[in-house]
Structure 1
Amino acid sequence: MKVEIWSDIMCPFCYIGKRRFEAALQQFAHQDKVEVIWHSFELDPNMQTRPGQNINELLAERKGVSLAEARRMNEYVAGAAQEVGLRFDFERMQPVNTFNAHRFSHLAAAQGKQDAAEERLFAAYFTEGRNVDDADTLAQLGTDIGLDAEAVRRMLASDEYAQQVRIDEYQARQIGVRGVPYFVFEDKYAVSGAQPAELFQEVLTKVWDEFNPAPTPVTLAEGPACGLDGADC
């Protein structure tokens, strides 16, 4: 079963949604038959990387609210993250442009390490306060998941995987993605948002049953038998 996920590194509900989906997947009897593919989606392609500023300050600036109010808004999100075992540190999170991080994910995908790359990027951004637009940082994150640091640097110094990011974003527009996370199951069913694990379990089961129906036995011979109403017995 193919599950495609459109997400952005700086989207808190994408990380929360990842955890909830993983929880559902752990309970799914056919989890070893599920292929997860991550797709790029930039929430703000024009975002400028701002080392030294934190997300609370950016939110206050964009929403026109006080810094205290911005902190309260982010505390709500941090609480949702904590429910699935994640620790978000909004004081350390740095506003970044995520285009290079998405290219990094595609590089990892080419080596069969995309899910590890997404997890490492999320943790670096939300928990560790790392600048995931920085070449040195991405090279280190690559090393953490088994990629060659110099290969990461060469990719970042070129335009490699830029087209793949743009293709992902074009596909998102074509299927009407307006927000992330956005999950598509077998090109037919979609789930938008960080839904509860129970809902993901229901969808996984529904899609599996539809695309892998139980076989219907072929009757080769008939003999004496009891009917449903007990007649003939």
Structure 2
Amino acid sequence: MSKAENSSKMKVEVWSDIMCPFCYIGKRHYESALAKFNNASHIDIVWKSYQLDPTIPEDVEKRMTTPEYLSTRKGMPLQQVEAMQQQVTLMAAKAGLEYHLDDAVVYNSFKAHRVIQLAKTKGWGDKAEELFFHAHFTLNKDLGDTDTLVEVGKEVGLSAEEVHEALTNENYAYEVKQDIQEAQQIGVRGVPFFVFNRKYAISGAQPVEAFVETLEKSYAEWQKDNPTGGLEITDGNVCTPDGDCQ
């Protein structure tokens, strides 16, 4: 079990791709719900890798912008795509996020997912997701570029050597592929996809209230099966078996 996972807490698993605009919005909606949830300290979030388009070439001379990519892939006029993106940008703003979709570049996200998998082993999965989302949607970084991954990885807390380890050690590639395979097995058709205690799921950037309701319902059931899971200890003066009293 990685340090990011804690068996004494209820797990919320999230399948996500860092190039998915609704994934970042969904993250904010979930966080807003968690802030309203009385037992937030007993929830452990586990981020799972997912690729919306694994066919994107990893190495190209010039990256397409998001509008160019969507126009080509969907066969839609560029003007129509830009209008759609304006609506997404407004939705993001309501969640407190700053999007610059017209200048965002498109890359194969597999390498970025490898780095996030390594960050998860250190308990930094949520921090990594946040910084990678911000780098893509707000700063328009090319996270398909190794030097950029090192740069953002350092912000997460990883060393340059650790980022290169993530990109060369096939164990991290395996973890990415396992997450994607698991998504297929449980019926994930799009992201974000939130799974609560392996019993309830929320697909998409649903309203905050939907997350609150699902958190309350799933946690109440989890707590019945884990009666000691909610134990909180207030420290005071104690004596230990080794004779130390303080």
CA distance in 2, matches of 1:2, 1:52: 37
1:178 to 189, 192, 195: 189
- Kindly provide the CA deviation profile for residues 122-181 of structure 1, in whole angstroms up to 9, marking residues without a partner as x: 011111110111111111111112111221023213434010011111111111111111
CA distance in 2, matches of 1:117, 1:66: 34
CA distance in 1, matches of 2:63, 2:108: 14
- Give the letter for the 1:195 counterpart: Q
CA distance in 1, matches of 2:166, 2:200: 34
- Give the letter for the 1:120 counterpart: L
TM-score using structure 1 length: 0.88
- Kindly provide the CA deviation profile for residues 55-107 of structure 1, in whole angstroms up to 9, marking residues without a partner as x: 11111222222222111011111111111011111122101101011111101
Within the alignment, does 1:210 sit opposite 2:221 as a pair?
yes
C-alpha displacement of 1:41: 0.8
Within the alignment, does 1:18 sit opposite 2:27 as a pair?
yes
1:120 corresponding residue in structure 2: 131
Within the alignment, does 1:84 sit opposite 2:92 as a pair?
no
CA distance in 1, matches of 2:51, 2:75: 23
CA distance in 2, matches of 1:70, 1:208: 40
1:143 to 147, 154, 161: 154
CA distance in 2, matches of 1:112, 1:211: 22
CA distance in 2, matches of 1:206, 1:69: 40
1:222 corresponding residue in structure 2: none
Please say if residues 63 and 107 of structure 2, whose CA atoms lie closer than 8 Å, have aligned partners that are also in contact.
no
Unpaired stretches in structure 2, ≥5 consecutive residues: 1-9, 228-246
CA distance in 2, matches of 1:9, 1:126: 9
CA distance in 2, matches of 1:24, 1:41: 23
Q: Which stretch of the first structure deviates more once superposed, 180-189 or 50-59?
A: 50-59
Unpaired stretches in structure 1, ≥5 consecutive residues: 216-233
Count of paired positions? 215
1:27 corresponding residue in structure 2: 36
C-alpha displacement of 1:213: 4.1
Compared CA separation, residues 30 and 55, structure 1 to 2 (3 A) = same
C-alpha displacement of 1:207: 1.1
1:192 corresponding residue in structure 2: 203
Please say if residues 15 and 48 of structure 2, whose CA atoms lie closer than 8 Å, have aligned partners that are also in contact.
yes
1:220 corresponding residue in structure 2: none
Within the alignment, does 1:7 sit opposite 2:48 as a pair?
no
Within the alignment, does 1:67 sit opposite 2:67 as a pair?
no
Within the alignment, does 1:44 sit opposite 2:53 as a pair?
yes
Aligned partner of residue 13 in structure 2, secondary structure: strand
CA distance in 1, matches of 2:74, 2:156: 36
State the structure with more CA Rg.
1
Please say if residues 92 and 128 of structure 1, whose CA atoms lie closer than 8 Å, have aligned partners that are also in contact.
no
Please say if residues 48 and 95 of structure 1, whose CA atoms lie closer than 8 Å, have aligned partners that are also in contact.
no
TM-align CA RMSD: 1.5
- Give the letter for the 2:17 counterpart: D
2:241 corresponding residue in structure 1: none
Please say if residues 49 and 176 of structure 2, whose CA atoms lie closer than 8 Å, have aligned partners that are also in contact.
yes
Aligned partner of residue 48 in structure 2, secondary structure: strand
1:155 to 166, 169, 190: 166
Aligned partner of residue 22 in structure 1, secondary structure: helix
